[in-house]
Structure 1
Amino acid sequence: MTSVTHAAPGRWRRGGRRREGLRALLWLSPWLIGVSIFFIYPLLSSVYFSFHRYDMYTLEYVGLDNWRYLFQDPRVLTSAENTLWLVVVMVPATVLFALALAQLVTRLKAGVSLFRTIFYLPSLVPMVAGTVTFVYLMNPASGPWNQFLALFGITGPDWFGDAAWSKPSLTLLALWSCGQVTVIFMAALLDVPKHLYEAAAIDGAGAWRQFRSVTLPTISPVLMFSAVTGVIYALQYFTQAMIASRVASGATDSAGNSFTPGYPDESLLTLPQWLFYVGFRDYSMGYACVLALLLFGASMVFTLILLRQFRRAEEAA
């Protein structure tokens, strides 16, 4: 009788836990279904197709041939170097520029709403329209930017026609359209408690010391978010580079007019662009899946490195 009495509450507790687990799965089911359909299934499919020669019609198992060709494709190294340049140069420049703008606007005594709107407006311009306009503005022959520089005796370069200036030109485009990141930083800066600045000022800390010891530690989660999303965005950089190359080269898709991706001299060829041309122009979907997995792995590695660095910085602070 005693064993039955003790067993019943145990079964009741196990049944309660089971019901709670099923209830949790029920609430999580929309997310689980979405992740399974839009992430896990495409990822597993990419791994499967990477071992096949697939042209959208026929499927042939080729083993590691696609992976071996990855180390023989000369454009993979070129596109990887260009993409890495964007990650190392464009992302830090954009984050720091947006943080500087946010710091400047939050310290203004008047006109905050006006300047916030001015800085945010470029981010509302569609990517294609903004890139086309930017290329024409920086045209060395007829663009107003070089004409403005000529007033000061400066000879402007061929911004999007010179391989040495093409990626810095895209960086300028990114700085021009960083309004969304600027607004996020502004919200973070306005949430920094005022009493922390007052305590630092009483201790004799100057503006730079306050920024380093108060502002940066407080907004570090937002800074980490901006850096991680910026790196992922740079690894997926496609539209602006492709449109800038096409407009600067004057190429179209008309018959008899072929376009070499990455103009000028493949300086704007990024990994997503090369993936697109391999998959949807050459119809080599198996090799395109290899490039997609390479991008996925690079995104994971960079994200883990950034998270570890931010964690170390927080522990040191």
Structure 2
Amino acid sequence: MNVWYSTLDWRLGAPSADPVGLANYQRFFTSPSGLEVWRVTGIFTFGAVAGSMVLGLLIALVLNKKIPGRTFARTAVFSPYVLSGVGVALVWMFIFDPQRGALMHILNRFGIDSPQWFLDPDANLWMVIIVYVWKNLGYCAVVFLAGLQSIPRDLLEAATIDRAGPVRRFFSVVLPLLTPTVFFLLVTNIIFSMTNAFDILRVMTPTGNGTNTIIFEIYLQSFGQFNRAGYSAAIAVVLFLTLLIITAVQLRFVERKVHYQ
């Protein structure tokens, strides 16, 4: 049904619609606004996935050691992931407030003026990336931690006996054995970043202003100020096909580098 809607010039609530064929798709792939959506989506997805996975792995490496209070630390790291995205966004809006926010006071202590996070489109985009990474890195950390704990200890002990240092052990033993975990997180995080960030984007940047990822553009075009339901349906179809292609490519080529044994 959505594919059929995407071939119509239809405004939400209108009693009739005009068939336009593939005009909505052509407009999305050729208009400056459509190209901007691709640019923003690419930056957001790369920043969100890379930030969550790199920081999640570093945190997992620390939490995998026998340190005091690690059970509490694991709970604290994972807790933001289960919190409401709306609540997280509201709290971070106060933190990023350039007039009274906590971040402003911290930057002022170092003689740095707070960026206009909510007015500058580039700052807006990095702001929501930071919040998304903070909320979701606990998920990556917990999954990485499970992968680290499944690595046989005798392999690490053998590498230590062979005089391999911590860095050598990580890149020669730990990381290759973590490739199934990395592959799983890569697939799921790309899908999550392109589909599950709507709540943060909607609360922190209600009208876009540099944060028009493809999932947010679907909302703005259909339920926002534009009211173009047919065009929004076309973008939704493009999002589905994009995720399908990305996942197929990962399963076909990236999985070849995964070591399951």
**TM-score, normalized by the shorter chain, greater than 0.5:** yes
Contact 1:160 1:166 in 2 (8 A): yes
Could you list the per-position Cα deviations for residues 12-62 of structure 1 after superposition, in whole angstroms to 9, with x for gaps in the alignment? Answer: xxxxxxxxxxxxxxxxxxxxxxxxxxxxxxxxx222222223345324332
Q: Which residue of 1 aligns with 2:175?
A: 216
Secondary structure, in 3 states, of the residue corresponding to 2:205? helix
Q: Which residue of 2 aligns with 1:62?
A: 20
Root mean square deviation of aligned Cα: 2.1
Partners of 1:201 and 1:163 in 2: CA distance = 49
Per-residue deviation at 1:275?
1.2
Partners of 2:125 and 2:19 in 1: CA distance = 39
Could you list the per-position Cα deviations for residues 48-97 of structure 1 after superposition, in whole angstroms to 9, with x for gaps in the alignment? Answer: 22222334532433222222322443321112211110122221111110
Query: Following superposition of structure 1 onto structure 2, how do residues 134-173 of structure 1 map, counting pairs within 5 Å?
Result: 134-173=92-131
Per-residue deviation at 1:203?
2.0
Could you list the per-position Cα deviations for residues 256-308 of structure 1 after superposition, in whole angstroms to 9, with x for gaps in the alignment? Answer: xxxxx212xxx111111221122234443322221011111211222233334
1:242 and 2:202 matched: yes
The runs of 5 or more residues in structure 2 that have no matched partner are none
Contact 2:98 2:114 in 1 (8 A): yes
Contact 1:135 1:160 in 2 (8 A): no
Q: Which residue of 2 aligns with 1:272?
A: 215
Partners of 1:132 and 1:227 in 2: CA distance = 28
Contact 1:52 1:63 in 2 (8 A): yes
Secondary structure, in 3 states, of the residue corresponding to 2:254? helix
Partners of 1:205 and 1:308 in 2: CA distance = 34
Q: Alpha carbons of 1:176 and 1:78: their partners in 2 closer, same or farther (altered >3 Å)? A: same
Matched residues, percent identical? 26
Secondary structure, in 3 states, of the residue corresponding to 1:298? helix
The runs of 5 or more residues in structure 1 that have no matched partner are 1-44, 247-260
Secondary structure, in 3 states, of the residue corresponding to 1:110? coil
Partners of 1:309 and 1:212 in 2: CA distance = 21
Runs of 4+ in 1 over 6 A off after TM superposition: none
| Matching residue within 156, 164, 179 for 1:197 | 156
Q: Alpha carbons of 1:48 and 1:200: their partners in 2 closer, same or farther (altered >3 Å)? A: same
Partners of 1:130 and 1:290 in 2: CA distance = 31
Per-residue deviation at 1:194?
0.5
| 1:216 aligned partner, one-letter code | L
Which stretch shifts more, 277-286 or 121-130?
A: 277-286
Aligned length: 255
Q: Which residue of 1 aligns with 2:88?
A: 130
Contact 2:89 2:204 in 1 (8 A): yes
| Matching residue within 300, 307, 310 for 2:251 | 307
Higher relative contact order (CA 8 A, sep 6+): 2
| Matching residue within 221, 227, 231 for 2:186 | 227
Contact 2:44 2:213 in 1 (8 A): no
Contact 1:276 1:288 in 2 (8 A): yes
Partners of 2:220 and 2:113 in 1: CA distance = 36
Could you list the per-position Cα deviations for residues 209-265 of structure 1 after superposition, in whole angstroms to 9, with x for gaps in the alignment? Answer: 21112212222122111111111112223221121113xxxxxxxxxxxxxx212xx
Per-residue deviation at 1:130?
0.6
Query: Following superposition of structure 1 onto structure 2, how do residues 14-33 of structure 1 map, counting pairs within 5 Å?
Result: none
Partners of 2:28 and 2:72 in 1: CA distance = 50
Partners of 1:228 and 1:211 in 2: CA distance = 23
1:262 and 2:208 matched: yes
Q: Alpha carbons of 1:49 and 1:73: their partners in 2 closer, same or farther (altered >3 Å)? A: same
Which stretch shifts more, 168-177 or 53-62?
A: 53-62
Per-residue deviation at 1:124?
2.5
TM-score w.r.t. the length of structure 1 is 0.74
Could you list the per-position Cα deviations for residues 118-163 of structure 1 after superposition, in whole angstroms to 9, with x for gaps in the alignment? Answer: 1122223210111111011111110111202222333332233322
1:97 and 2:55 matched: yes
Secondary structure, in 3 states, of the residue corresponding to 2:258? helix
